[in-house]
Amino acid sequence: MSAQERRESVIRAATAEFARGGYHGTSTEAIAKRVGVSQPYLFRLFPGKKGIFLAVVERCLHDTTRIFEEASDGLSGAEALQAMADAYKRLIAERPEALMMQMQMYVAVAAAEQEGDHEFGESVRRDWMRLWDTVRAPLGGDDDTTAFMASGMLINCLVAMGFPAEHRVWTGCFPADAGKVRPGE
């Protein structure tokens, strides 16, 4: 395997580990073991645990941004919104670690900020703003983008907490989806 292929393996393994255990609850030893390499080899590929985590965050946000770009290509307004919502629902249904990684990312930034590490948050916020701008372009403005992202965060929280699809808490989450399948169905 080339160094780039090994790096990709580390990012995939670290995504699974960080999604499950968070930044502080995941050891580089667990990541190395999942990949089948030594810890010193990890640190030849990345400058440390923080570097691995930030690479995973970048990949997670990049993948979500790409999914929104592809879904909304050539669309605008309500059509783009529905296409991006459908694409995101597929993403979190097919790759639940992507959702959990997002949730862990928000917690890690808050913890780093409290510890005085503002560089960590700046890096994540920069990548997250690319996601925001990708959503904003086809929706045409900040108000629609805010509503879309707010609905997405509610859905993230409900899915992460394991609310079953038939639970009343889902009512109204998908106004354009009346009668369609909800996450978890």
Tell me the C-alpha distance between 34 and 43, whole Å: 15
Q: Is the pLDDT of residue 176 over 90?
A: no
Confidence of residue 180 (pLDDT cuts 50, 70, 90): very low
Considering the chain, what is the average pLDDT of its residues?
A: 90
Which segments of 95-163 does DSSP mark as H helices, in order?
96-114, 118-139, 142-160
Mind listing the pLDDT tens digit for each residue in 134-149? 999 999 888 999 999 9
pLDDT score for 55: 96
Q: How far is CA 172 from the centre of its chain?
A: 23
Mean pLDDT, rounded, for 111-127:
93
Q: Domain residue spans in the chain?
A: 49-165
